[in-house]
Structure formats: C-alpha cells, structure tokens
Structure 1
Amino acid sequence: MIQTLLSHSFKQQLRSPIWAKNLIANVFLGFAALMLLFYVLLVGIFLPKILESVFPGQSPIEVVSGFVIYYFAFEFFLRFFLQNVPVLAIQPYLHLPMRKKKMLHFMLRKSHLSVFNFLGILIFLPFTLSTVVPEAGILPGLGWLLAIISLVFTLHFLTILFKKKLNEQPNLLLVIAGLFMAVGAADYYEVFSLSELSATLFNGLLGQPVYALIPLLLWFVAYNANYRFLAANTYPEEISTKKKTSKIAGDFAFLKRFGRVGELIALELKLILRHKRPKSAVFLASFLLLYGLIFYPEEQYQQMSWIFLFVGIFITGIFFIQYGQFLLSWESSYFDFVLTRKVTFHQYFEAKYYLFVATSAIAFVLSLGYAYFGMKIVFINLVCFLFNIGVNVFLVMRIALFSPKKIDLSKRAAFNYEGVGAAQFLMALPIIFLPYLVFVPFIILDIEDYGLITLGVVGLTGFILRDKWLNYIAQSFVKNRHKIAAGFRAQ
C-alpha cells in the first residue's frame, strides 16, 4: 500500500496542470533549495573556525551548547511561517478497503523529509564529527547529536500540531506569543539566562549520554500526538460536517452602520479570516510588532533616528504592505462579479483604504509599549503612522493595479508565489526611500525633529486629501478594468 500511495503522490505532482504551468518556477525553487542546503552544510563544516574567530579563547562546544536553544526558537518561527503541514488527499481513500492507520503513518513519516529538518542536521552533524567527537569521545558525541536531531524532529511535529490546532483555536497564537515574550523579557532583565540554561542541559549530555533518550522520547510523543489528532479528524462525516458548520469568521454586524463601505470591509475581513494565505499577512504583522526590540534597546542606535524611521514604517504599515500588494489578486477568482456588483469603484477602494487605516492604527496603539525606550520612539512611530495612512497606503494601492496576477485562495500559504510580479518588486522602492527623500535634507541640516514634523504633516495632508487620492485610484482602475479581468481569465 505504501508503494501505491507513493505512486499516487508522484503522479499527482507530474499530472497537475499547475506543475506544468509553473515548471520554470518549480525548477528554480528546487535549485534554490539545494543551494540553501549546500550553504548550510558549509556553515556546519566551518562552524568551529567561525566560532574561534568570533569567540576567541572559548570552547566551541560550550558556545554552541549555549546558543542551541536560540537556534530552536528561531527555527520555530521559520517553520511557523514557511513550513507546510503534511498533506495527503486522504478523503478519497477513506471508503476504500485500506487501513487508515497505514495512510496516516505514511503521511507523517514522509513529512520527515522536510527541508527544514535537514537544516539542523546539516549544521550540527559536521560540527559533531569535527569537534564534539574528538574532544568528548564517540559515545558522548553521538548522544549529543542524537539529542539535537531528536529535538529537530520534535519541533517539526510540534509545529505541525500547533498549526493544525490554530485553525480550531486562533487564540492559541496569542498564548504562544505571550510565552515567547515572557521568556524573552525574563532573559533580557536577567531573571534567568537562557544561554546558561541551554549550556547546562547540552553540556550535561556530554557527561551523561543516556539523557539523550529524553529528546528521543519527546520525538515519539510529538509524533504520536499528531497521529492521534489526525486519527480523530479523518472521518468522512466529520469532514463534511466541518465544512458545513464552519464559522471561522463572524458577521461583523457592527460594520453595517457604516453603510455600503462597512459591508465591503466586513466581506474583506471574512476573506482574510477564511483563507490561509491572506491570514498569514495578519500573523506576520502581529510578529513584526516585536521588530523594534531588535533596535530600540541598543545604545548605538539611539542617536540614529533614520533607522527608527525605517522600523516605524514597517511596524505601523506591514499589514497593508503585505496584503495590499495583492489588492485585486485576492478576488481574482470571481473578479467578473466584482465588476458587476452594485457598488461604485470609489466605495470599493474606500473600503480597502479604511481597512488599512484601521490595521495601521491598531499597530500604532500596540506599539505604544515602546515608550519604555523613550517618548521619541513613540513620536517617530506616530509620524510613520501618519505618513503610512497619508502616502504609502495610496502608493501601494496604485502600484498594485499594475498587471496584477491571479491567486488561488484554496492553496497553501508557505512557498506560494502566486500573484508575485514586477509590481511587488517595484513597490518596495517608494515605501522605503520616499520617507528618506523628505527626511535626509533635515538630517544634513542637523534639524531632525523638524524633518519628523514635516513627514507627519505630509502624511496628515495626504489623509485629509484621501478622497482625491481614492478618486485617482478608482479612475485608473476604470481605465484598465477590462484588461485586468482578461488577464485573470487567461491565467
């Protein structure tokens, strides 16, 4: 049966019209993945020399043991945004005389071949053979490596389970984010040291290799938890029931008081909450609210306001930058209906604009916590918020009208490049550089505060003139709407 499932998976890929259509892109992505793994392997081979140059006089094993926990934290975020949940079109097999147990085990075991699992192995395997085994011995070195590999696969299955549970319990993301923030704050304020804890645990494995059985047990437990979850959620009647009773997004009745624009905003919110790829823009915006923690605590950046300007633009505007660049593509599968709705195109773009303003306002309010690092940061974020809602958001909406590409909302979010075209690459230039065109002359004249005030005034002026901006965007859309619709149909 395993051979049959492998054959079906292989034929499904080769016979898919999407595979043939995107053959060049798939070949390029495969080549990029191989190059990435090759560079990761080089890092693993030269890691001892790198550590000797960065941490002279310290044992490479102790340095790596102290940073392993940070590596796994980084890998969790990487997996959360990019790793795909293992998929097997299992529903067509459920009525056949095939054991469901074998199908589920096949799906989970095949997921071990994920690229993300090879990242940790390619880094730590050469390091173990070149450094850990010669210094600590064969048995302790192999025990250390076994613990690392076991934790890689444990994290693999925990991420899968977390992403599956997230569909049923969206608040779980807030719990995990809060946990990471609490641990990070405890480490920052020296309540305890994560690096010391990591070093103690992994150096202890070298003294007692038998402890490597604990991560191995965690691997088994995480695998078994995924199996039990899948076994409890793969009955035909349950699948059909879930599709009929799913209420992943509410009615947003309070928006109806804002008339037709409010109704359009409600529809946009439902589209976001019911599909993985637009929902990922919300998750990314949530996590990038922490982006300031990379820059704000560092003393060397305190006298460099131009860096904080870049950070503020992204913190308060990352949602509309991510989501707005595919402004029309999200509705490409029913775009002809969009053109025939009893809605003016001004209302259509006005609804999207106020959604972007609302998300930027929420991001700014949440960023007020950065007042801990100084009120100047709050002022810079306020300026960036005004510039975003008065200038950048209109630039994003206008550039997004340039030859939009079709997006299939039923597809996965990770490694999905549908809709990406020249406009997405051009969009980054004005968003990043336009604020600095206004700000740099004031830096040269050593009057940065006046530059920030000017940026805020420019943004506020753009917000006041929003109707003229929206009319311009709507008129540009009207001129090209039939060409855009024909492009979506052709794709």
Structure 2
Amino acid sequence: MIQALLSHSWKEQFRSAVWAKNLVANIFLGLAAIMITAYALLIGIFLKEIVGAILPDTDPLSIINSVVIYYVAFEFFIRFFLQNVPVLSIQPYLHLPIRKAKMINYMLGKSLLSPFNVLSLLFFAPFAIRVVNSANSTGQAVGWLLFIVGLAFMLHYAIILFKKKLSEHPNLIFYAFIVIAGIAALDFYGIVSLSSISSEMMSTVLATPYLGAIPWLATVLFYFLNFNFLVNNTYPEEISIKKKEASVSGDFAFLKRFGHKGELMATEIKLILRHKRPRNTVMFSAIFLFYGLIFYPNPQYQEMEFIFVFVGVFITGIFFIQYGQFLLSWDSSFFDFVLVRKSTFKEYIEAKYYLFVLISTIGFVVSLGYGYFGWKIVLINFCAYLFNIGINVFAVMRIAMFNPKKIDLNKRAAFNYEGVGAAQFLIAIPIMILPYLIYAPLAIFGYADLGIILTGGAGLVGFILREKSLKIITDYFVQNKHKIAAGFRAQ
C-alpha cells in the first residue's frame, strides 16, 4: 500500500503540467539544499572553534547549553514560515477499500523527510562527539544529543498541528505572537533569563541522560494529536460544513458601512485568511512590526536618525509592501470574473487602496508602543505613516501593475516563487528613495526635524489628493485590463 501511494505521488509530480516549468527552480533549490547541508555540517564540526573565537576563555559546552532554547525558538520561526504541511489528495481514495488511518499514517510519516529534521543533527552531532563526549561519558553525550534532536522532531509535528488549527482559527497567530513577544520582552529586560533556564535544563539532561527521551515522548504525543485531527477532518462534507460555518462567522459586517467598497475589502480579507500564501504574507507583516526593536534600543543608532525614517516607513507600510506587490496577481485565477462583475473598476482599485490604508493605520497604532524609546520616534513614525498612505502606496500599486504574473492560491506558501517578476525588484525604489528625496537634503544642512515634518506633509497632501492618484491608476488598469487578463490566461 505504501509503495502504491509513493508511486502515485511520484507520478503526480512528473505528470504535472507545470513540472517542466518548475524544473529550473527545483534544481536551484536542490543545489541550495546541498550547500546549506554542507555549511551546517561544517559549522557543527568547527562549532567548538567558532565559540572559542567569539567568546574566548569560556567553556564551549556551557555556552551551547545556554543558547539551546534560542536555537529552538529560531527553528520554530523558520519552520513556521518554510515547513510545508503534509498534503495527500485523499479524496480520490475515499471510495476505495483502503483504511483512512493507513493513508494518514503514510502522510505523517512521509512528512519526516524534511531537511529541517536533519539540521539539528548536523549542527550538534559533531559537537557532541568532540566536546560533550570528551568532557562526560558516552551515555551522557548520547542523552544530550537525543534531547536536542528530539526537540527538532517535536517541533516538526507541533508546527503541522499549529498550522492545521490556524486554518480554522486564524486568531491563534495573534495569541501566539503576544505570548512570544511577552516572553521575549521578559528576557530582554532581564526579568526572566532564558539563557539560565536553557543552561539549567541542559545541565539536568547531562546529569540524567534518560531525560533525553522526553522530547521523543512529546513527539509521539503530537503525532497522535495530528492523527486525530486529520481523521476528524478528512471527508469533503466535513470540510464543506466548516467552510459554511466560517463564511457565516466571517462576514466582516463593520466594513459594510463603507458601501460596496467595504464589501470588496471584506472579500479581499477573506481571500487572505483562506489561502496559505497571502495569509503567510500577512503573518510576515505582523512579525516585522517588531522590526524597530533592532534599532530603537541600540545606542549606536541613536545618532543615525535617517535610519529611523526607513524603519518608520517599513513598519507602517510593511503590509502593502508585502501584499501590494502582487496587487493583481492574487486575483489572477478569477481575473476574468473581476472584469465582468457589477463592481466598477474604480471601486475595485479603491477597495484595495483603502484596505492598505486600514492595515497601515493599524500598524501605526501598534507602533505607538515605540514611544517608550522617545516621542521623537512617534513623530517619525507618524510622518512615515502619512507618507506611506499618501505617496508610497500609490507608487507600489502602480509598479505592481507592470506585467503581473499569475499566482495559484491553492499552492504551498514556502519556496513558492509564482508571481515574482520585474515589478517585485522595482518595489524597493519608492520605499528606499522617495522619503529621502525630501528628508535627506534638509537633514544634510542641519534641518532634520523640518525634513521629517515636510515628509509627513507631502504624504498628507498626497492623501488629500488621493482621488486624482486613484483615477490615474484606474485609468491605467482600464487601458491594460485585457492585456493583463491575456497574460494570466497564457500562464
């Protein structure tokens, strides 16, 4: 049975219409995977020397023990955005005399063939042999290594379950980020020391090697949690019922007060929440709201105010930068419907613009927390926000209409380069250059504060004149709509 499923998966890949199209990308990703594997192994072999070079006169084992928890957190984030959820087209098999449990076990077992599950072994196995084994017994070294590798496998199934639950309850991502941000803040301000907790945990594992089995027991637990979830969410009628329930509870009634444009905004939000790639884009945007923590607390940037201007533009505009660069590509699968539905093209463009303004406003409100580092930062972020909604957003929308590429919303989010074209490389121009055309000359002559205010003022003027900008973008869209539609059909 397993052999037949593997054969079907292999044929599905090679008989796909886009297999030849993605061949070059897959070869590139394969070479990149080999290179990353080689680098990971080299780092693992020379980890003792690397630690010694960075922190001389320290015990490498103690240092590694104290950062294991940070490594696990880093791996969690990487897996969350890059690890694919195991997928098997189960529906064609449901009418056959095949046990559903066998197909789900196959799907979960096959998912272990992930490069992320090998990285921790490559990083820490050479270190365990060279350092841990020489300072302790072989049993202690084995228990220490099993504990770390077990954490990686536990994360594997925990991330799968989390992503599956996330599709039903999108709010989970916000609760998760609040918890993670809270723990990070406690560690940053020295209230709780995660490095001390990590050091104590790994020292306990060294002293009691059989504790290395704990993460593996947790792995088994998460495996069965995934198994039960998939068993209860396999049949099409179950999925359709849940989609109907979700559609009832997710009408975004508060947007209807804005008329038909509000309904179009609600439709766009539903598109984001129901598909992996746009949803991941929004999640990335939420994470980048914490981008300021890299710069604002750091003393070396306090005299480099021009960097704060870029950070303010980035924080308050990250959503339309990330999502807006594929402005029309998100609708490519049903673009012909966009051209014939009752909505006017002006309403279609306005709905996207006001959605960007709404999310940018939320981003600015969240950024008010950076007032802890000084009210000057609030002023910079406010002016950057005005510049974004008055100028940058129109530049991004116009550039995104330059030869847009098709995106299949049903495909995976990780390592998916559909929709990427020349426009995506041009998006950086308004973000990196436009604000500084006003700010930089004044800052050079010692009028940095005036430059910040005038940058915000230019954005405010742009927002007041938004109808003219929207008309220019709409006119371009109308002139090129059939050419864009033909391009989507050809792809």
- TM > 0.5: yes
How big is the shift at 1:224?
2.0
Q: Which residue of structure 1 lines up, in the alignment, with residue 369 of structure 2? A: 369
How many correspondences in the alignment? Answer: 491
Structure 1 partner of 2:92: 92
Distance in structure 1 (CA, Å) of the matches to 2:357 and 2:175 = 26
Q: Is the CA contact (8 Å cut-off) linking 1:79 and 1:159 kept in structure 2?
A: yes
**AA matched with 1:316:** T
User: Partner of 1:472 in structure 2?
Assistant: 472
Q: 2: CA distance between counterparts of 1:407 and 1:473? A: 22
Q: CA deviation at 1:446?
A: 2.5
Displacement of 1:328 in angstroms is 0.7
Tell me, in whole angstroms, the C-alpha distance in 1 between the residues paired with 2:428 and 2:248.
Answer: 32
Alpha-carbon offset, residue 210 of structure 1? 1.6
Cα distance in structure 1, aligned partners of 2:479 and 2:297:
49
TM-aligned CA deviation for residue 272 of structure 1: 1.8
Separation in structure 2 between the aligned mates of residue 176 and residue 262 of structure 1, nearest angstrom: 29
The aligned counterpart of 2:71 is: 71
Q: Which residue of 1 aligns with 2:174?
A: 174
Q: 1:249 to 1:393 in 2, by over 3 A?
A: farther
Contact 2:140–2:206 (8 Å) recurs in 1: yes
Moved more, 100-109 or 236-245: 236-245
1:457 maps onto 2:465 in alignment: no
Question: CA offset at residue 102 of structure 1?
Answer: 2.1
**Greater alpha carbon shift after TM alignment, 11-20 vs 89-98:** 89-98
Q: Which residue of 1 aligns with 2:4?
A: 4
Question: What CA distance in whole angstroms lies between the structure 1 residues aligned with 2:67 and 2:116?
Answer: 18
Q: Deviations over 1:197-247 (max 9, x none)?
A: 101111222222121122221222122221222222224542343355442
RMSD: 1.7
User: 2:337 aligned with 1:332, yes or no?
Assistant: no
Q: Which residue of 1 aligns with 2:323?
A: 323
The answer to whether the 8 Å contact 1:248/1:274 transfers is: no
**Inter-partner Cα distance in structure 2 for 1:127 and 1:441:** 53
CA contact (8 A) 2:153 2:216 kept: no
> Post-superposition shift, 1:382?
0.5
Gaps of 5+ in 1: none
Aligned partners of 2:142 and 2:184: how far apart in 1?
A: 31
1:370/1:378 contact within 8 Å kept: yes
Q: 2: distance between equivalents of 1:474 and 1:234?
A: 43
Structure-2 separation of matches of 1:317 and 1:33 = 32
- Distance in 1 (CA, whole Å) between partners of 2:36 and 2:204 is 32
Tell me the alpha carbon deviations over residues 21-78 of structure 1, each in whole angstroms, 9 at most, x when there is no partner. 2221222222222222222222222221111111111111111111110111111111
Tell me if the contact between 2:392 and 2:431 (Cα under 8 Å) persists in the aligned partners: yes
Matched position secondary structure for 1:20:
coil
1:99-145 C-alpha deviation (Å, 9 max, x unpaired)? 22222221111111112222222211222222222222322111111
Greater shift, 476-485 or 249-258, is seen at: 249-258
Match of 1:234 in 2: 234
State the match for 1:145 in structure 2: 145
Counterparts of 1:169 and 1:277 in 2: how far apart (Å)?
Answer: 16
- Paired residues of 1:249 and 1:270 also in contact (CA < 8 A): no
State the AA in 2 paired with 1:368.
Answer: L
Name the structure 2 match of 1:55: 55
Identity of aligned residues (%): 60
Letter of the 1:323 partner, please give it: Y
SS at match of 2:46: helix
Counterparts of 1:205-224 in structure 2, within 5 Å, are: 205-224=205-224
Query: Contact (CA 8 Å) 1:329, 1:405: kept in 2 or not?
Result: yes
Tell me how far apart the structure 2 counterparts of residues 337 and 170 of structure 1 sit (CA, whole Å): 27
For residues 387 and 72 of structure 1, the distance between their equivalents in structure 2, rounded to whole angstroms, comes to: 39
Residues 1:13 and 2:6 aligned together: no
Q: Distance in 2 between matches of 1:477 and 1:456?
A: 28
**Alignment check: 8 A CA contact 2:154 2:218 kept:** yes
- 1:64 alignment partner AA: I
Q: 2 CA distance for matches of 1:150 and 1:181?
A: 25
Alpha-carbon distance between aligned partners in 2 of 1:121 and 1:426, rounded to the nearest angstrom: 40
Cα distance in 2 for residues equivalent to 1:15 and 1:372? 57
User: Greater shift after overlay, 389-398 or 338-347?
Assistant: 338-347
Report the 3-state secondary structure (helix = DSSP H, G, I; strand = E; otherwise coil) of the residue aligned with 2:323.
helix
Q: Which residue type is aligned with residue 231 of structure 2?
A: A
> How many angstroms does 1:364 deviate by?
0.3
Q: Which residue of 2 aligns with 1:133?
A: 133
Unaligned stretches of 5+ in structure 2?
A: none
Deviates more, 1:370-379 or 1:237-246: 237-246
Q: Is the 8 A contact 2:170 2:273 kept in 1?
A: no
Counting only pairs closer than 5 Å after superposition, residues 24-423 of structure 1 correspond to structure 2 as: 24-247=24-247, 250-423=250-423
Partner Cα distance (2:383, 2:279) in 1: 27
Hey, what's the Cα distance between the residues in 2 that align with 1:262 and 1:213?
53
Q: Determine if contact 1:297/1:373 at 8 Å carries over to the other structure.
A: yes
Q: Is the 8 Å Cα contact of residues 19 and 26 (structure 1) preserved in structure 2?
A: no
CA distance in 1 between counterparts of 2:167 and 2:342 reads 33
Deviation at 1:306, TM superposition (A): 1.6
Please tell me whether the aligned partners of residues 120 and 152 of structure 1 are also in contact (alpha carbons under 8 angstroms).
yes
Q: Is this contact kept in 2: 1:396–1:427, CA < 8 A?
A: yes
- Stretches (4+) displaced over 6 A: none
1:485 is aligned to: 485
